[in-house]
Chain A
Amino acid sequence: MKLNAILSGTTLGLAMATATHAQEITILCDDVGFGCSTMAPIAERFNEENPGKTVKLETVSYQTIVEALPVQLESGEGPDGAIITDLGGLSRYYLDLTSHVDAGYFEEEFGRTLEWLRGSDRKSKAVNGMPTSLTVNGAYVNLTLFEQAGVPVPEEGATWDEWAEAARQVAEATNTEFPMEMDRSGHRFASFAISHGAELVDEEGNPVADEGLKTAIEKFVGWHKDGTMPLDLWGAVGGSTHRELFEDFLNANVVFYFGGSWTLSRMDTEVGDLFEWAVVDTPCGPGSCTAMPGGGALVGFKHTEQPEVVGAYIDYVSQPENYKEIIAASVEIPAAGTLIEEGVDYPGASERTKTALSTFTNQIPKMAPAAYRFQGWRYQRAMMNALTTRISQVINDELTVDAALDRIKQDVELAIEAAEGN
């Protein structure tokens, strides 16, 4: 009798433990901006308020999310959810959250960026995740160097050429190594190209290598050849490798640095008061004064065995007070419409960072339709990889600009063909 009771108790205990364990989900995220550490307090609160449901945040590098996660997902494995940035490219793996969240609220708050999560399916109304933050790429300048050189800082509406000229004057007067620098990233180059009139992708989702792109590549390569930009990034590195040299700006080795809003907290903590710096309005080209939008999203994956928990957690994070708390801690631009309108108070950020954030936010209305189209395109990464690879080859005289344009178009077409099984 006693033995029976013990056995029953043990069995029940084991069953409960299994049930509790079965309610655990894992979310993969990196540690930059809206990521694991800024989301941790919210996850802890969720776990406390929902006994039996556990959210485990697993911190990994950005590279892991970009390169390893898609392979895991393709094999039907991987975490239950993640914060990802290839919004359209991973669309076929997303869990539709429509029945787990307030779809109307999501549509109202995240409308435009929600579209990016639907990939090439333009008719879909699925809620494939919660856009976390908006990122905007843009330019940081070293104001101290401008002041020392006695060169006026170009004002809003200044062109790329005017900025290059001003940066060259400053570099010459202050003996700074390089006037300008841009991360080796197709996303960064895309804003430069679109502002020069490039379309990159047409309405039907076909790659476009037009005169605008040609002008942009010629100018960009010219700046590397004449020393306006260092060869260390776009010249020295090959393939699709992402590379940035933030240290150059930190050490005042460069006057003008084209990065993005996600670097702000690093600017604040690492550059701080070493010298005066500011985010400036995105330079203009003949086509527009566009920056590239971007951002991440918190998504669940179809293969999860706990769709309710994933849905409940994403719904919990999307609640205005929780979402606002994470955005404030991560010092990023919110993706939710109401917060963009109302503005966010960033308690831990310096005045300079707050001003910089508002400058970044001011670029959003100036973004060209081509920039939005490119960001939501399923094959955006194929184009960005082709841009970095081929432009580096032009800088190293392996290809002419015309040959590079043909190659960029061909690379993306081959990628589309291969993806569609042809």
Chain B
Amino acid sequence: MRATAALSGAIAALAALPARAVEPVMHGAQKALGIKQMPWVFLIPNLLAVLLFSLMPVFINLFYSVTGSDRLYPVDRPYIGGANYETLFDCGNYLDPSTCSRDLFWRALGNTLVFVPVQVAAMIGIALFTAICLNRDIRGRGFFRSIFFFPVMLSPVVVALTWQWILQRNGALNGLLTSIGLNRVNWLVFPDSAFFWSVFVTVWAHMGFFTIILLAGLQSIPRDVYEAAKMDAASPWRVFTRITLPMLKPTLLVVFILCVIRSVQTFDELYVLTGGGPGSATILIVQYIYEVGFAIQPRNFGLAAAASLLLGAVLMIFTLIQLRLARGRNL
């Protein structure tokens, strides 16, 4: 008993050592800077990490966007001002990409503007429906939760190749159709069907992640609210619209922001599945940036940097609007 107490004391003394060692330094800092500045001292390690890993790349990107040549080292890159931005914005009519100097950038942007709302709506709708189903007391609930989460663990390339084998001309889906006497469809050859499958595959691949978040949100809603609604004989639809949705709003907002950011960043699955085709029907903005900066030779790092900064700016504006709306509604 005494030995245990001694051991606990020793451990506590050992644990306090770093704090004791830092104490004089903190006292010194507090004397020198004053109490009001002390929070900054504590924030410095985190701020340094943010500066190094988040802000520095933005500044480097900014530098690349105003310099030219296919060289990587800053000293080898001449300053060209806003030429890359001018090239991107050089358009006769912004609604007609074929009048733009960099038509593929505008086609990619246009595709992204259609893809994101469609995919986000489908993703949240299906994830919410799945979460509600999985929140019910059904048999094999654990098994189904695992099944829906399973695709999240797969590499995007594996997802894309799997679906390519399913959807290609001689793929599994067409095999199934012909076995029941239906005609084959070349799913990835037509712009509309390729776009549909692009949305479908990305939703399938990521839905599990959002389902889990929504499921956690659903489980945090107090049971007694539902019980009270049941006693009042509220219909299931009324329960959903008046209880579930309002109480799930904070979770939905997080899911919505994460979903939009992930949707705009969609690249790997579509690059492998369609390569941006047919033509340019499924090329999204990140693929355009990748191709210009890394796949097409000579590599145009400057133009890729300019395009990615524009994308970053759009995403930031969008996120700020979201946060503003959320604050306005006290979410």
Contacts and interface: CB of A to CB of B under 8 A. Distances in A.
A398 B96 CA distance: 11
Contacts of B191: 396
Nearest to B296: A385
A396 B281 contact: yes
B70 A419 contact: yes
Interface string B72-96: 1100011010010001000000000
A341 interface: no
A394 to B, nearest CB: 8
Contacts of B70: 74, 418-419
A418 B84 CA distance: 9
Interface in B1-52: none
Interface string A386-422: 0001001101111100010001001000111011111
Contacts of A301: none
A12 to B, nearest CB: 39
B179 interface: no
Contact of B98 (A237, A253, A403): A403
A407 B280 CA distance: 14
A314 interface: no
B297 A381 contact: yes
Interface in A216-258: 230-232, 235-241, 243, 247, 251, 253
B104 to A, nearest CB: 7
Given A232-B169, A236-B189, A415-B298, A407 B275 contact: no
B300 A238 contact: no
A76 B73 CA distance: 9
Nearest to A184: B275
A418 B186 contact: no
Contacts of A71: 72, 294, 299
A385 B194 CA distance: 22
Interface in B285-299: 287, 291, 294-299
Given A231-B189, A421-B68, A415 B277 contact: no
A370 B299 CA distance: 25
A392 B274 CA distance: 12
Contacts of A253: 170
Contacts of B98: 398-399, 403
Contacts of B83: 422
Interface residues of B, number: 47
A240 B296 contact: yes
Interface string B89-112: 000000000100101100100000
A392 B188 CA distance: 13
B186 A70 contact: no
Contact of B279 (A70, A396, A419): A396
B274 A237 contact: yes
B156 interface: no
Contact of B277 (A86, A239, A381): A239
Interface in B262-320: 271, 274-283, 287, 291, 294-300, 302-303
Given A231-B186, A239-B287, A422-B80, A70 B277 contact: no
A67 interface: yes
B286 to A, nearest CB: 12
A382 interface: yes
A67 B294 contact: yes
A379 interface: yes
B291 A75 contact: no
Given A232-B168, A418-B300, A421-B69, A238 B295 contact: no
Nearest to A242: B275
A240 B280 CA distance: 11
Given A389-B104, A418-B300, A419-B70, A238 B279 contact: yes
B145 interface: no
Interface of B: 67-73, 77-78, 80, 83, 87, 98, 101, 103-104, 107, 168-170, 186, 188-189, 191, 194, 271, 274-283, 287, 291, 294-300, 302-303
